[in-house]
Amino acid sequence: MHAKRIIPCLDIKDGQTVKGINFLQLKNVGDPVEMAEFYSNEGADELVFLDISATLEGRKTFAGLVEKIAERINIPFTVGGGISSLDDAETLLKAGADKISINSAAVADPSLIKRLGERFGSQFVVVAIDAKYINGTWTVTTHGGSRNTNRELFSWAAETERLGAGEILFTSMDHDGTEGGYACDVYKKLSGILSIPVIASGGAGKISDIADVLSRNKGNADAALAASIFHYGKIRIPHLKRELGKAGIPVRTTL
């Protein structure tokens, strides 16, 4: 069995790391360059950086920030937010990103997934999906969860794989920032219908939440992404990995 990955997430707004609940009530939690270096040294397997404001001016600022971070870490990282063209992706790749994450732009123009995969390789393309459970259906949302679409989570995830996505990063907007646990049943179903890796995001509050979403019998996700519990020091990555190992979940060990 492949080792499961632990991925801290840095949501960036105006050059600072922020965190909220359900993408609202955002608070500054630290300098992204310093936090990235800390997580790299702490034993994170990867990092995800999301420019949640993603204005045109912010895109240029964020590319510079990506470059600064790339100089300070030695683990892969994924960059997302406001990417809507091959040129946007290339800018971030040249700045030092290992992968890019697309969300709203992929929903608006699914062919972007195919074009990015053909240009840079599918391993470079992470499709992020934000969804809410509305009237018995997991409804895909865009623009940070503020706009509902007519797409359904599972059919959209399968379509992105057919188009060439290398990974899926699914965030339950209902669980994000609540620290009440992941939507494990959803990840279990996603992992059953997809052959590409699934990253779980939204809801981590304690070690058992991460163990559950990574467990083959429960969530069966390939990686767990979290923010608040790491940013506020509730869980340290070396301790988390030791506990996951004890629970029989394969992880890359830290020094």
Q: Which residues are catalytic?
A: 11, 130
Please tell me the distance from the alpha carbon of residue 117 to that of residue 124, in angstroms, as a whole number: 7
Helix axes 56-70 and 32-42, enclosed angle (nearest 10): 40
Kind and range of the H or E run holding 190: helix 184-193
Amino acid at 16: Q
- Dihedral, CA atoms, 148, 191, 198, 135, nearest 10 degrees? 20
CB atoms within 10 A of CB 107: 22
Q: What is the CA radius of gyration of the chain?
A: 17
